[in-house]
Structure 1
């Protein structure tokens, strides 16, 4: 009984293209597909619009009393794992022997029964499938997974699963350690080609062994038959199945770089929902027509959050311990989601100090979330809304049938341009937008959505205005205004929370001869900025 007893890969037509049995007995792919089909028909009718049995199904579910199935879609293929369901509770019997003899009698045994929980979190399945997808795409150099690619690299998938799963449970899931234990495509192709050469001249017994139907059998035979080539430097000295024994599983052994550097990308995504601004009283005159500024009084947001991610790119020799100090700008991040290389105790005692031994290459160091509406210290939340402010006002014009969208880009020394700025205008049903006056950009229609698209690289410190009308299906002006507008953009050089990197240094380990290059990049993106 295990978490993962078998793994299948299927195409979009529900046909199996890869199968690996970890532990027997295990359900067949046909049985899993039939059970999923029967469950799907309970809630959905087969309209023919979808060919995948996994559509509209939960990613983890029990298909019967004995088997649990989890799946994930990777590009154009589906990866499915199945394992036996665990009982919610199980009884464990402990035997305590009394070595002392009393009155010449033999030692007595005392048995105690304890009931323990054996529940399995569904996230264990999803985490393994996510890790498997990351590892597979890395070994295939980021290639898009499709049925042809899976069939061509079946030997690679088999070797990966042998390392990632042990006794039907996830074992090694760190990419860096798997890269040490598994051969690259070039090495594996050399093993296979060497095996074919040896087969032509080897004895009958070796030939019969090499001609086994199992791909694993052939690969292991190749490694034993080509042991003399290992010593000559043609292939690696160590066996590809030998565990590395690395005490730091997320970092490679004996990492060496000619140019040491450590780079940080601090990315924040804004989510705002602002209620509608009250329409102004009608004021006539040319000065009103050219008023490009935003209203002084703004409605309080009903949602104001910032999602932050710190990406760390390490190209450092040795086993360095890095200390990163963040200026949190009075924000309380609590306990963020850290990569397991981080010493969380140091952060708990000194918020803002992140100490860790990094994996090699780029990885996600930490994630955090800031809810500006629930801060303990009073702050002006408008200072953390990013560099673009938007406002939607209706009821304008002599007949009160015009609306206006105003944008204001703030000045900041570290930011030169706002990139890919656009406003989606969401209108009532059977209405379209007519532009009356546009100071920057133009009005476009994409997939039935009206968009005010501005310059790809818009300078900071300017005001932009869109004055328009809603037209009914017959072409007559409507007194309605847009339901809401959504804003999207990005910029480099600052983040909305104003969090900054104060220092970044190697406090132990690493190379002492080379001073590492340090770089920090601040990036702002938008999740959802909505103004009603």
Structure 2
């Protein structure tokens, strides 16, 4: 069993914020920090320190520029320790607010101490669920803190070591905790929840449930445009604001069936795994209160027959097709001097959205916040908002063209058809070509319904980093060094002095050979971009085609909701590519 010995938190300037010791006598934070910083960046999450006594495994994460360190001197499970650090950062964000800042920790040392003591008991991880922690630790409140500061009663617990962990807590920078009367939220007056991940006595005036499915696209294209790999990583975020203890059923559907499409699924502990194994795509669970990550998965967009399609007998037309908003291709070494390149963006008119609400009259379910479709208590309803499953809309698009370090400048950048703006500054490592949603809709408006892709091109000329130096050397400028070579072979006829004087008279320069066209093209080839990536976000569209078929409440298993109460339900879809569509050349 993994044992948490200590937790150290440092701010963005590597100044210690707090030291919390759970078990044993781990090395001090002042000893571990220099050893951690001695490793070159990027530093791994797990570092072995043999110079400490005893030898120590140092686990680390960085959250909002705050450094979390956890030393372990025994053999532990690495993923468990790293997961504990991530959950600690998430719990602090949940109680103190995001982003997690050093000033928030300094102003709420008492809350942080209670959280750390409740999450670990004697070095053993005990409770990391935010809902369960809220039953025993009260979130900071400005009014209550003000009352406690002037001596009036407040509900802030007085003990910095609440719980039974037996650990020690050290403040940094001379801060003093706020003290108040005993009897916090974890007292005997409050009943404990029967569900470990859900708060007790949950009450909401308006009962609502929201499903947000986000998929991140990663596609690699060959120079010919053939897809080599296409993976979509999805996450299902669920927001439950329902009174009592609801028992929910969420049904997922997709072309080909969830059993054949969804791979490597991971679930929140509230999900009943037996139900998913018997009926893939059916999620039955009692949700925590508030927003949480319900599930995550992976989808291979090329399908299981992708390897057969990559055989030498198949052609480009028979290769797997991808229905994504945009792809890109790169052509290099263009022009008479082979110094030009061209990046062609292929847009899919299907993602232009709709012009009017009449086009969405038969689109099916409505969208929540313009991101997919919504579920009402009485069923599905239509909506006129853009960004639905029937008419997905691209919010923005950016093409990034990385350049080699030897490129000094890019001149004559021009975009066809006024398709966005391309920017480059000398010294940058890449070109950014940005297109707004309005520009994308204007480009695809004329080709709406044609079903063919629309192309926009970016062309530019690269200049090598040594172009000016070579020019000065050819003109004999100041600081230019001679590149002539001399033969010092004694066996050659005559001495090197006579040989040099006979071949090149005094005061004359050797004649240079005319430049070789093929050699110049090879030099420019090194300066050409090797790939291009596309970033975008699309409302109302998922690359995998997964959708929510139904979302309901099992009234027989639920309790505390009330008879006749039908929660409002909403679903939102979002497809994202963060430099995920890459074409190599």
What TM bracket, shorter-length normalisation?
A: 0.7 to 0.9
Partner of residue 77 from structure 1, selected from 55, 62, 66: 66
Query: What does residue 451 of structure 1 align with?
Result: 432
Shift of 1:189: 2.4
Matched residue SS, 1:128: helix
8 Å CA contact 2:415–2:422 kept in 1: the answer is: no
Which secondary structure does the structure 1 equivalent of 2:196 belong to?
coil
* Aligned mates of 2:69, 2:19 — CA distance in 1: 10
1:223 partnered with 2:181: yes
Equivalence for 1:470: 461
Alignment of 1:46-125 (within 5 A): 56=43, 58-62=45-49, 63-65=52-54, 67-86=56-75, 120-125=76-81
Give the superposition deviation at 1:20: 2.2
* Alignment of 1:420 onto 2:396: yes
Range moving further from structure 2, 348-357 or 392-401? 392-401
Q: Which residue of 1 aligns with 2:547?
A: 500
Query: 2:42 and 2:120 mapped to 1: Cα distance?
Result: 27
1:72 is displaced (CA, Å) by: 2.1
Deviations 1:54-77 (A, max 9, x none): 973543535443544322223233
TM-score between both structures, scaled by the size of structure 1? 0.72
Q: Relative to structure 1, is the Cα distance of residues 55 and 409 closer, same or farther in structure 2, using a 3 angstrom cutoff?
A: closer
Q: Deviations over 1:155-214 (max 9, x none)?
A: 12111112111121111110011112112323862684476789xxxxxxxxxxxxxx99
Give, in whole Å, the separation in 2 of the partners of 1:60 and 1:174. 28
Give the structure 2 partner of residue 392 of structure 1.
Answer: 330
Q: Distance in 2 between matches of 1:2 and 1:503?
A: 41
Contact 2:263 2:299 in 1 (8 A): no
* Equivalent position of 2:376 in the other structure: none
Query: CA distance change for structure 1 residues 453 and 184 in 2, over 3 Å: closer, same or farther?
Result: closer
**Alignment partner, residue 271 of structure 1:** 218
Residue matched to 1:371: 300
Q: Which consecutive segments of 4 or more residues in structure 1 shift more than 6 A?
A: 218-221, 377-381, 395-400, 475-479
8 Å CA contact 1:435–1:466 kept in 2: the answer is no
* CA separation of 1:222 and 1:389: change in aligned 2, threshold 3 A: closer
Q: Secondary structure at 1:347's aligned position in 2?
A: helix
- Residue 249 of structure 1 deviates from its aligned partner by 1.4
Kindly report which structure 2 residues correspond to 1:273-352, keeping only aligned pairs within 5 A, or say none.
273-277=220-224, 299-330=225-256, 331-352=260-281
Unaligned runs of 5+ in 1: 45-53, 87-119, 199-212, 228-235, 278-298
Relative distance call for 1:60 and 1:177 in structure 2 (3 A) is farther
Which structure: greater strand fraction? 1
- Tell me by how many angstroms 1:433 deviates: 5.1
1:97: which partner in 2?
none
Aligned match of 1:357 in 259, 275, 286? 286
Q: Is residue 65 of structure 2 the alignment partner of residue 30 of structure 1?
A: no
Match of 1:107 in 2: none
Deviates more, 1:386-395 or 1:255-264: 386-395
Aligned in 2, Cα 1:239/1:274: closer, same or farther, shift over 3 Å? closer
Query: Does the CA contact (< 8 Å) of 1:495 and 1:524 recur in 2?
Result: yes
Q: How many equivalent residue pairs?
A: 437
State the 1:80 CA deviation: 2.2
Identify unmatched segments of 5+ residues in structure 2.
Answer: 155-168, 310-317, 354-389, 448-453, 472-519
- Tell me, in whole angstroms, the C-alpha distance in 2 between the residues paired with 1:263 and 1:468: 45
Given the superposition, is the C-alpha separation of residues 35 and 470 from structure 1 closer, same or farther in structure 2, using an over 3 Å criterion?
A: closer
Greater relative contact order (Cα < 8 A, sep 6+): 2
Indicate how the Cα distance of structure 1 residues 2 and 138 shifts in structure 2: closer, same or farther if over 3 A, else same.
Answer: same
- Per the alignment, residue 17 of structure 2 pairs with 17
Q: Can you list the C-alpha shifts for 1:471-527, whole angstroms capped at 9, x where unaligned?
A: 334599977553221111111011111111111111231443321111111111004
Cα deviations across residues 460-481 of structure 1 (Å, max 9, x unaligned)?
A: 5652421524233459997755
Once superposed, what is the RMSD of the aligned Cα atoms?
Answer: 3.6
Within a 5 Å distance, the mapping from 1:160-239 to structure 2 comes to 160-186=115-141, 189=145, 192-193=148-149, 222-224=180-182, 239=186
Q: Distance in 1 between matches of 2:32 and 2:191?
A: 36
From the superposition, tell whether residues 263 and 274 of structure 1 become closer, same or farther in structure 2 (CA, over 3 Å): same
- Aligned counterpart, 1:483: 530
The CA deviation string for residues 109-135 of structure 1, in whole angstroms up to 9 with x for no partner, is: xxxxxxxxxxx2111111111111111
> CA 1:214/1:267 → structure 2, altered by over 3 Å: closer, same or farther?
closer
- Equivalents in 1 of 2:2, 2:350: separation in Å? 58
CA distance in 1, matches of 2:333, 2:178: 77
